[in-house]
Amino acid sequence: MPDLLRTSAVQLAAAIRDGTATSRQVVDAHISAIERVNPTINAVVAERFAAARVEADAADEAVRTGAELPPLHGVPCTIKESFRLEGMPNTSGLVRRRDVVSDGDATAVARLKAAGAIPLGVTNVSELCMWMESDNLVYGRSNNPYDPKRTVGGSSGGEGAIVGAGASPFGLGADVGGSIRMPAFFNGVFGHKPTGGLVPGTGQHPFAHGEALRYLTTGPLCRRAEDLWPIVKVLAGPDGEDEGCLDWELGDPDAVDLSGLKVLDIPTNGITRPWRELREAQVRAADHLRRLGADVQTVEIPAMKQGFPIWAASLGAANGVPFAELMGDGERVNAARELARWAARRGDHTPMASILAIAEDLLALVPDNSGPFVDKGLALRAELEDRMGDDGILLYPPYYRSAPRHAWPLVRQVVFVRFDYQYTALLNILQLPVTQVPLGLDRRGLPLGVQVGSRRGNDHVTVAVARELERAFGGWHPPAIAP
């Protein structure tokens, strides 16, 4: 029997199909793992263990009867709480939604179920999925499995933590500014932000509008790289509801010639240089690809200095629902008053949510100058795609350091006016596919990693590179807390 808490979803599905393991054994092993680690990391915020065991028994019966089996048959997983999962809460960390229970499934969840996956529960998020610390007043704060004093990232932070702790083979996340990639990075696992419009986001809260439908992406977080592509294939394709979803033709990671790659090694955004160990890990990845025959060029792209205003202007131009209205679940709240209530320990909102709403209101008083930054984003995308060519990639830091202590990102933004998440956020606006790849641990025992991006539609290329870098550098390194 394979090591049920270390192996990939693909291998677990194969073991279930050939009788080496049963779905019930696999599901029970992961439930036990969640029960062991969750009191420390607070990643799974609502469980459906009893239902999962019933579904696992049905999966085993299907194996015994010789039924045709889907690709993820009998394999457990977890789901970000912002996605609808029938019978599970769908609050998105908002106190006003604490009684909301899903009566159906989001498109991506339904597709995972149809592929045979068995959800074990839903995982923690930041309030309304708009901050890089998964903390809210409904479920509390999630903690990093490598060091509980540190952040798991956001907003798919619960997913990153439970997969990183070895208690879930893979999970479903969403990403509008790095919400898959930062949690994958901080928790040492793989995460894939698909090409804008490849996977429908129908059935998550909050949802996007207009062009932002292709900035907000849905994708997997996995402990093993070989799971990325099968899950992307399950998730991809229009559903007739998400108007931003496009019918992209998928390539094949197995057909990618790594010796012919053109690699743009981009060391920094030109504002905040990454810590030495993070830069050295990216250099090792670039050097490995060079040894395989890739053409590696270390370049700095001046336009990347404007990553934050490009992201903010492009999202603003998409004309979504005001954040203060989202905080009130349809009824606009007074964010300044909510911030004061939080300071008096009587509030219903996290401080960052109120700060974001206040900032949005202040920006509304300034004459609209978003157009030039939206245009700069389009020009930057054209420049990067031209430099990479048909099959090239870029290597880019996911953040400026390994996982920081809790609340430090808030201090960085409010006190020092540092928008460090622009390392990930910019790539949402460019709509490029990006795979977050773990690259070992730093001297503190915290995960290192790199973003691997490519031109739109080249998701298979970034996944192929992720698989090779996992082979070369080991991929996920289970933390001490892992069962």
Annotated catalytic residues are 80, 155, 179
- DSSP for 30-46 reads HHHHHHHHHHHH--EEE
Q: Is 70 helix (H, G, I), strand (E, B) or coil?
A: coil
What residue type is 315 in one-letter code? L
Query: Are 382 and 442 spatial neighbours (Cβ–Cβ below 8 Å)?
Result: no
Q: How far, in Å, CA of 134 to CA of 47, rounded?
A: 18
Q: Is 74 helix (H, G, I), strand (E, B) or coil?
A: coil
Q: How far, in Å, CA of 416 to CA of 343, rounded?
A: 20
What are 223's two structure tokens?
């402990």
CA distances from 178 to 205, 262, 289, 362 (A): 17, 24, 25, 24
What percent of the chain is helix, strand and coil (3-state, nearest 5)?
40, 15, 45
**383 Cβ contact partners less than 8 Å away, ≥ 6 residues apart:** 301, 303
Q: How far, in Å, CA of 305 to CA of 159, rounded?
A: 30
Query: Helix 23-41 to helix 49-64 angle, to the nearest 10 degrees?
Result: 160
Instruction: Give me the half-sphere count of Cα atoms (radius 13 Å) on the Cβ side of residue 57.
Output: 5
Residue 64 burial (C-beta neighbours within 10 Å; 0-12, 13-18, 19+): exposed
What residue type is 437 in one-letter code? V
Check the CA dihedral 432-438-442-447 and report its sign.
Answer: positive
Which is nearest to 121 in space by CA: 161, 149, 94, 69?
Answer: 161
- Largest Cα separation within the chain, whole Å, is 67
Which is nearest to 52 in space by CA: 78, 71, 90, 18?
Answer: 78
Query: Are 337 and 356 spatial neighbours (Cβ–Cβ below 8 Å)?
Result: no
